[in-house]
Amino acid sequence: MQKLVLASSSPYRKSLLERLRQPFECASPDIDETPQPGETAEQLTQRLARTKAQTLRSRFSDHLIIGSDQVLLLDGEPVSKPVSHAAAVDQLTRSSGRTLTFSTALCVLNSANGHEQTCIEPVHVTFRDLNPEEIERYLQLEQPYDCAGSFKSEGLGITLIARIQGNDPTSLIGLPLIRLRAMLANEGLNLP
């Protein structure tokens, strides 16, 4: 059986993959994430997921390499991790009462034979109408400055949300496990 490699340094993706109870390694692909001219946000995230997996192919020659990338669009523009409190306040204020789409691209590369599977798994998140005091309380308690959208659905951030729609709730956190399980089965790794 081939070993798994997660092409990521994200603690959130690592934690998600641990749910599958399979041994795996993490390796951080050092890639340029600059958008190409004319590239849509979804094209960018899919290209990055593929590039992350492909970059590790020479280091892991008989593995199933998992690459993933996520994009959030707000007012038609990609939203990155806020890093600062002020940016998080801005993101949540702009998200209040609105539905945002998180698109997570997934790539599974069989490094032994070059077979590659890719998909994009969208999740639509509708935020409640949030007042400034709620936003401030939430940010003080959870400090989600390393999360696009400035909230953690797996934590207290769930209280900001009115509805989540999608086929794979783990896609929102950054690694769609339902789709990943199907892709791994296509490579002969059946779970559980």
- φ/ψ of 83, rounded to 5, equals 65, -50
Strand residues in 111-176 grouped as ranges (E): 116-127, 161-166
Catalytic residue among 30, 69, 90, 168: 69
Whether 30 is catalytic is no
Nearest CA among 52, 17, 11, 26 for reference residue 183: 17
Q: What dihedral angle (degrees, nearest 10) is formed by the CA atoms of 182, 123, 164, 67? A: 60
Cα separation, 16 vs 7, in Å, equals 13
> Which residues are known to be catalytic?
69
